[in-house]
Amino acid sequence: MSRKVAVFRREHFNAAHRLFNPSWDDATNDKVFGKCAWPHYHGHNYELEVKVVGLPDPDTGYVMDMKVLSDLIKREIHSRFDHKNLNLDTVEFKNLNPTAENIVLVIYDLLRPHIPEQMDLQVRLYETPRNFVEYPV
Ligand code: NI
């Protein structure tokens, strides 16, 4: 049996967004996205869970130093998105609808290059305590 272990780090950020498809008219956006299409934006308290899977290092006993993982999330994710309007203030969502699904894909792509190749990465994003997404599945 594999001796791989999953380690998790949870972080938090607040951000505003608006869901809409610019190629649709207002009525269609309203119908599909409801109050999430509100033109003056709305905010969420996003909870982010980052999971890294690997073998504990024989010298440290760590899969990954949690301080390193925490600093990485702060640098790549928190500093980019915390207290930002995702639609207006970020390049990542300038032309990408900031649904939880798209946000989790963007976060994965930002983190993946910084996690050692032999380790698996999975990201879970809570938009509300009851609505959350995960990538990869
Ligand atoms: Ni929303």
Calculate how far, in angstroms, residue 51's C-alpha sits from the geometric centre of ligand 1: 24
Q: Decide if 8 contacts 51 (C-beta within 8 A).
A: yes
Q: What is the pLDDT of residue 42?
A: 96
Calculate how far, in angstroms, residue 98's C-alpha sits from the geometric centre of ligand 1: 8
Residues in a beta bridge with 56: none
127 is catalytic: yes
83 is catalytic: yes
Q: Around Cβ 106, how many Cβ atoms within 10 Å?
A: 22
Q: Around Cβ 115, how many Cβ atoms within 10 Å?
A: 19
| pLDDT tens per residue, range 72-95 | 999 999 999 999 999 999 999 999
Q: Decide if 23 contacts 29 (C-beta within 8 A).
A: no
Indicate if the pLDDT at residue 1 is higher than 90.
no
Q: pTM (2 decimals)?
A: 0.96
Q: Which two tokens stand for residue 88?
A: 């207006």
The domains found in the chain, sorted by start residue, are 5-135 (3.30.479.10)
12 is catalytic: no
> Which residue, 105, 113, 93, is CA-closest to 15?
93
